[in-house]
Amino acid sequence: MADSTTKGSKKTGSAQLQAEILTEALPYMQRYDRQTIVVKYGGHAMGDPELAASFAKDIVLLKQSGVNPIVVHGGGPQIGAMLQRLDIKSEFADGLRVTDKPTIDIVEMVLAGSINKQIVSAINAQGGKACGICGKDGNLMIARRVKKKVVDQDSNILKVVDLGYVGEPEHVNPQIVETISASDLIPVIAPLGVSTSGETFNINGDTFAGALAGALRAKRLLLLTDVEGVLDKSGKLIKNLQIEDARKLIADGTITGGMIPKIESCVAVVESGVDAVVIINGRVPHAVLLELFTEHGAGTLIA
């Protein structure tokens, strides 16, 4: 059995280690002091209570450290589950959900209602002060209808499909977010938009976050996903990508599938004025802090 001296030395060693970690984080805290960080929160982390609590702690710590975190969240699986529960059938065009009037009502209820308030409550439970809004508040996100071009499987003819109440950003009015962030509140935003005629549109969360980050001239956009980041052909994580390198990796087939539109969106965000976009594995506890406050990072940085 260890005596009191041994126990005391262990406690001292642990305290010194904690102090060293804090001092190592200092330069990174200074780098992001009073800077805006937009975080797109989604994927597996949203459904895991421990990861959700870890994420909430990270966001509160950012705010307490002088950073301005802005949270944009998704909710595709939760929307699908609610539609199934209410027995509302969905049609799909080239893998995209066609959102009719009954569906957009459910989308708004789930995104701006239950999911948004769950995240707000999680941040508040960790000592933060979160404020939940959506893109309709303060005309934050003015959107236009998206029409998708798809190839008809029978005739092999390219046709335009109306996806219903699916939108894309047309104009961003970030004043409401800036006002909230200037206080001690943390904005938590559901990716809904409103047209100039008052129609509600569901907007892809990554696209919404990217448009908002560009309008705010954010220092970083962090995309929390269910993947480690961009991998090379041998399956190894690529930690840093310049825009031209990203385009080459798409052209030579290294980046494929669903990662292509994500990377193209990242490139557009960087070109809009954001310093860098980072694709992060949200399944890693405290991934946000690892990316911002350590030298190790937690994903692929596109700059």
> How do residues 38-79 score in pLDDT, each as one tens digit?
999 987 678 788 999 999 999 999 999 999 999 999 988 888
Q: In CATH, which superfamily holds the domain spanning 34-297?
A: Acetylglutamate kinase-like (3.40.1160.10)
Residues forming a β-bridge with 287: none
pLDDT score of 149 more than 90:
no
Write the CB contacts of 245 (distance below 8 Å, at least 6 apart in sequence): none
| CA distances, 139 to each of 134, 198, 229 (Å) | 9, 10, 33
Give the chain's end-to-end CA distance (angstroms, integer): 54
Task: Give the number of C-alpha atoms closer than 13 A to the C-alpha of residue 155, restricted to the C-beta side.
Answer: 5
**Alpha helix ranges (H) inside the chain:** 4-31, 49-64, 76-85, 101-108, 116-125, 175-182, 205-216, 243-251, 259-271, 287-293
Higher pLDDT, 295 or 187: 187
Residue of 69, 78, 71, 70 lying closest to 43 (CA atoms): 78
Residue of 223, 215, 203 lying closest to 272 (CA atoms): 215
Higher pLDDT, 198 or 45: 198
Highest-scoring range by mean pLDDT, 4-18, 154-168, 261-275 = 261-275
pTM: 0.88
Write the CB contacts of 65 (distance below 8 Å, at least 6 apart in sequence): 29, 32, 33
According to DSSP, residue 295 is labeled S
Q: How far apart are CA 200 and CA 195, in angstroms?
A: 7
**Do 175 and 233 touch, CB atoms closer than 8 A?**
no
Least trusted range by pLDDT, from 15-19, 189-193, 202-206, 276-280: 15-19
Residue ranges with strand state E in 152-208: 158-172, 186-190, 192-194, 200-203
Q: Where are the domains of the chain?
A: 34-297
Higher pLDDT, 183 or 15: 183
**Do 292 and 28 touch, CB atoms closer than 8 A?**
yes
pLDDT score of 122 more than 90:
yes
Rounded to the nearest integer, the mean pLDDT of the chain is: 88
Highest-scoring range by mean pLDDT, 37-46, 127-136, 251-260 = 127-136
